[in-house]
Amino acid sequence: MFKASKATKALLSTTILVSALASGASAYAAAAPAQAKKAGEFVSASVDRSSKGNLIIHWKANADLGAAKIYWSTSPDNIEKNGKLLAQTYTGLNGYMAKDPKPGYRVYFKVKAGNGATVTTAERKVNLQGAFNFRDLGGYKTTDGKTVKWGKLYRAEELGHLTTADLEYVQRMGIKTNVDYRTDAEVKAMPDPVLAGITNIRTDEGNAGATADLMSMIQSGMMKDEASAVQMMAGFNKQMVDAPKFYVQLMELLNDPANIALVQHCTAGKDRTGLGSAIILLALGVDGQTVMNDYLLSNVYREEANKKTIEGVKQQIKDENVVAAITALMGVQKEFLQAAIDEMKAEYGSIDGFLEKGLGITKQERAKLKAMYLE
């Protein structure tokens, strides 16, 4: 019989899925498609961290913009005014590598060309040792040419593995509100840390969670092969749309300026959090393909941890079909999120209809969200 270790259980997130179902759902650094821009503007930018800890700033422009200045700051607001000059370079080089200007802090960059064109960017993944899937939703383009602000909206997995240095790092990020989607059983197993200045809010408090484990799911036939796992996850996402109380509360919190910046998380940071992130981006006007790309990034950030867990699973379960099912459960697939999108359209006529009728977001509230989180 397969007995999952504590780490495996956390990664598989099996209790999450079963309890949510039982209660009625009580390319790397993907960027948005380039918006139509007049010649002489930046069209995209991103930041990667090398194995040695150096930061590589990438950018693309639709013309040669000549000389450029790169500014940095530990705040995403008014970087050029409140930050410091990192370097002077040329936009035609399409990038610049530098040592981390402030180790232990989250850093944001602004690239300014000689013609006045600018672009702001940062690492999408937050640089933590105890969390693989803690990331920023900033930098994505909307269909009307706006950009999601950096440093205001985060998505993450469980926070109980954060190191002491991680906790200090997170506290410096200026996060005000931590939204936890987990059940009582999950929270008891791995409580969130209490940090000064950050309010922890539970959306699923009072839901004890189911006691079913991975073995019982396999024996019941729910996890007999990859197709059954995909079907189960698609159904889980549909149920979260049909009973969206988590996201009604999320939208209410986002509409209150006192909650900026906000992080939302579950256990693996890919299912409940994945749909929550998709809803946020859709409400802000980000196009569907970009939303899907962000959803699928969980496969990138959880890849190494998932590989290690699957190797352990293979040592104890010899049925290749069951291993394929568990592998599917640990990741995300297009079909999962697409099932939720399709359910929104089937039940409410459109995504906008779901936002307005399913979540109760008025046009005025949506306009307020855009004013708060876009630039």
- Structural domain includes residue 170: yes
Q: What is the pLDDT of residue 20?
A: 40
Q: Are residues 174 and 104 in the same domain?
A: no
48-52, 190-194, 209-213, 253-257: range with lowest mean pLDDT: 209-213
How far is Cα 159 from Cα 252, in angstroms, rounded to an integer? 23
200-211 core/surface letters (b: 16 or more CB in 10 A; e: else): eebbbeebebbe
Average pLDDT rounded to a whole number, residues 61-90: 97
Q: Are residues 118 and 159 in the same domain?
A: no
Among 122, 149, 168, the domain-final residue is 122
Average pLDDT rounded to a whole number, residues 27-49: 69
Q: Count helices and strands (H / E) in the chain.
A: 15, 12
**Is residue 165's pLDDT more than 50?**
yes
Q: Are residues 182 and 200 in the same domain?
A: yes
What residue numbers bound the domain in which 104 lies? Answer: 42-122
How far is Cα 235 from Cα 227, in angstroms, rounded to an integer? 12
Average pLDDT rounded to a whole number, residues 145-173: 97
Q: What is the pLDDT of residue 150?
A: 98
How far is Cα 328 from Cα 347, in angstroms, rounded to an integer? 27
How far is Cα 159 from Cα 176, in angstroms, rounded to an integer? 15
How far is Cα 34 from Cα 143, in angstroms, rounded to an integer? 10
Q: What percent of the chain has pLDDT over 70?
A: 87
Q: The dihedral of CA 79, 34, 48, 195: what is its sign?
A: positive
Residue 337 structure tokens: 């999120």
Q: Are residues 58 and 155 in the same domain?
A: no
Which of 35-39, 206-210, 234-238, 311-315 is the most confident on average? 234-238
Q: What is the pLDDT of residue 38?
A: 66
Among 122, 155, 189, the domain-final residue is 122
Q: Are residues 194 and 317 in the same domain?
A: yes
Q: Are residues 112 and 156 in the same domain?
A: no
Q: Are residues 92 and 241 in the same domain?
A: no
Residue 51 structure tokens: 């194995």
9-13, 110-114, 154-158: range with lowest mean pLDDT: 9-13
80-94, 137-151, 200-214: range with lowest mean pLDDT: 200-214
Q: What is the pLDDT of residue 224?
A: 85
Average pLDDT rounded to a whole number, residues 138-156: 97
- Helices of type H across 51-178: 79-82, 164-172
**Is residue 344's pLDDT more than 50?**
yes
Among 92, 122, 152, the domain-final residue is 122
SS (H, E, C) 124-135: CECCCCCCCCCE
Confidence band, pLDDT 50/70/90 cuts, at residue 18: very low
Q: Are residues 228 and 331 in the same domain?
A: yes
Q: Are residues 166 and 100 in the same domain?
A: no
Judged by phi (left if over 0) then psi (alpha if -120 to 50, else beta), residue 306 lies in alpha
Average pLDDT rounded to a whole number, residues 257-262: 97
Amino acid at 185: A
Amino acid at 139: G
- Structural domain includes residue 36: no
Query: Which CATH number covers residue 312?
Result: 3.90.190.10
Q: What is the pLDDT of residue 214?
A: 63
- Our count of domains for the chain comes to 2
| Average pLDDT taken over every residue of the chain | 90
Q: What is the pLDDT of residue 220?
A: 72
3-state secondary structure of 98: strand
Taking CA atoms, 113 is separated from 44, 82, 101, 110, in Å, by: 14, 18, 21, 10
- Structural domain includes residue 34: no
Average pLDDT rounded to a whole number, residues 149-174: 98
Average pLDDT rounded to a whole number, residues 182-202: 96
- Structural domain includes residue 37: no
Residues with Cβ within 8 Å of 35's Cβ and at least 6 positions away in sequence, in order, are 43, 141, 145
- Structural domain includes residue 101: yes
Average pLDDT rounded to a whole number, residues 262-278: 97
**Is residue 66's pLDDT more than 90?**
yes
- Structural domain includes residue 80: yes
Q: What is the pLDDT of residue 15?
A: 38
- Structural domain includes residue 193: yes
Query: Which CATH number covers residue 63?
Result: 2.60.40.10
Q: What is the pLDDT of residue 12?
A: 43
pTM of the model: 0.89
CA angle 292, 259, 142 (to 5 degrees): 30
Distance of CA 289 to the CA centre of its chain: 15
3-state secondary structure of 87: strand
Q: Are residues 79 and 142 in the same domain?
A: no
DSSP secondary structure of 169-214: HHHHTT--EEEE---HHHHHHSPPPP-TT-EEEESSTT-------H
Confidence band, pLDDT 50/70/90 cuts, at residue 209: confident
Q: Are residues 113 and 137 in the same domain?
A: no
Q: Are residues 252 and 118 in the same domain?
A: no
**Is residue 329's pLDDT more than 70?**
yes
- Structural domain includes residue 1: no
Confidence band, pLDDT 50/70/90 cuts, at residue 267: very high
Q: What is the pLDDT of residue 237?
A: 97
